[in-house]
Chains A and B, each alone.
Chain A
Amino acid sequence: MASATSRRSGDHQDLINQAHLATLGTLVAGVAHELNTPLGAIHSNHDVIERALRKLKEILEDEVVTPDELEQVRRIVRAMDGVLTTNGIAVERMVKLVDSLGTFGRPDRADVDRVDLREGLEGTLTVLTHELKPIEVVRELEDIPRIECHPNRLNQVFMNLIHNAVQAMDGEGTLTVRTAPDEGGVRIEIEDTGKGIPGEVIQRIFDPGFTTKGRRVGMGLGLAISRQIIDHHGGEISVESAVGKGTVFRIRLPARLPRPEAREGGPE
């Protein structure tokens, strides 16, 4: 069993910007996936409504309605019932997605807020629904106190950790998300049953630019930036992993942000 813990942070503005872009990319891809299904259904239903209307107009062209035409009208009514039900489900899905985006990165939201972090975790899971489809998701979410934090930045950490966990499982496994109160603050755990991280890798996992995923912009920055964000909150992030069994990331956050003079630089 290998593990690593870090509290230290550096000042890497370029790296932060690149990591923001990488998170944004994951977010946009997730939203696009999630919109695709309801939009596809509504798109098809729009076509069905057009066809149905055309048929109705043809039937109404002459004064007499034949028994055959009456049967057609019944068929149209059945199809319209289906369209209405499906559109209801599709619209509800899109409203939920927009709601979860609201918890994610609304520009009008206060940068610092007192929030229940379970909202951010649920929002992240919603945005990543498509990626999580073949994965079993277990929620062990104990009641936790609201804490003073930068909610959007913490959501960036959740997205990064959950996205990594899904990739480590390669289409099969269990993702467990836990929350619990912790000495006035909160404790969050994100655990996967993926391939695990070898000991020589885990020691460098929070280093900026370290990656095992090949060279792409933003890759290898996620965990370094996550650590910075957690440090900035006066918290702690640690990892424990066993090759072939899985990995768990633990985050502890205090109830309040540290006073500015107590901090050693931050992600601004």
Chain B
Amino acid sequence: MSKISEATVMIVDDEEMVVGAIQSFLELETAYDVLPYTSPESALEELEERPTHVIVADFMMPEMDGVSFLTRAREIRPSATRILLTGYADKQNAIRAINEAGLYHYLEKPWNNEALKLIIRNAAERARLFEELEGRVGELERANQELAGFRERLIHAFL
């Protein structure tokens, strides 16, 4: 991902109207690729196939609760930033789960579009930094391996 505007954002809520409303807003106001899902299982299948930078999931879903979904999503896409959507009545349970699962943010329903945009933008930036960091770590590991090989060759050459 080279620019924040090119982020891929997944929205998962069993309520089609919630997914639809967020999708319309993001399509109007941003250049993100939006992946709308009403089934967490199908969303996980998509995650296997497609690099995704931000995942927004509802807490209370019949098939799978949002925290379990986001925990599984992390196994598939560790660099994606995860956000939980919660209804007011579920807030206490959700906050406990957020702390346990180490999520980036939670957003209360009904959400404010401007706040949602800002949170997703920051989340995308975080995912970009995470990917960069992963890239750098990879480079370092490769350099380390090269150095180790070089050292081996040096030792063989002089002994």
**Residue numbers in A under 8 Å from B65 (CB-CB):** 134
Given contacts A51-B29, A78-B27, A79-B27, contact A86 B20 (CB under 8 A): yes
* Chain A contact residues, majority secondary structure: helix
Binding site for B on A (CB under 8 A): 29, 33, 36-41, 43-45, 47-48, 51-52, 55, 75-76, 78-80, 82-83, 85-86, 89-90, 93, 130, 133-134
Q: A44–B28 contact, CB under 8 A?
A: no
Q: B25–A47 contact, CB under 8 A?
A: yes
Q: A82–B62 contact, CB under 8 A?
A: no
**Residue numbers in A under 8 Å from B27 (CB-CB):** 75, 78-79, 82
10 closest A-B pairs by CB: A40-B110, A82-B24, A86-B20, A79-B28, A41-B17, A44-B21, A41-B21, A89-B17, A79-B24, A47-B113
- Contact-residue size bin, chain B (C-beta under 8 Å from the other chain): 20 to 34
Q: A93–B28 contact, CB under 8 A?
A: no
Given contacts A51-B29, A82-B27, A89-B20, contact A44 B15 (CB under 8 A): no
Question: What is the CB-to-nearest-CB distance from B10 to chain A, in angstroms, rounded to a whole number?
Answer: 16
Q: A52–B21 contact, CB under 8 A?
A: no
Question: What is the CB-to-nearest-CB distance from A206 to chain B, in angstroms, rounded to a whole number?
Answer: 30
**Residue numbers in B under 8 Å from A55 (CB-CB):** 28
Binding site for A on B (CB under 8 A): 14-18, 20-25, 27-29, 60-62, 65, 87-89, 109-111, 113
* Chain A residue with Cβ nearest B110: A40
Question: What is the CB-to-nearest-CB distance from A79 to chain B, in angstroms, rounded to a whole number?
Answer: 4
**Residue numbers in A under 8 Å from B23 (CB-CB):** 82
Question: What is the CB-to-nearest-CB distance from A187 to chain B, in angstroms, rounded to a whole number?
Answer: 29
Q: A41–B62 contact, CB under 8 A?
A: no
**Residue numbers in B under 8 Å from A37 (CB-CB):** 15, 17-18, 87, 109
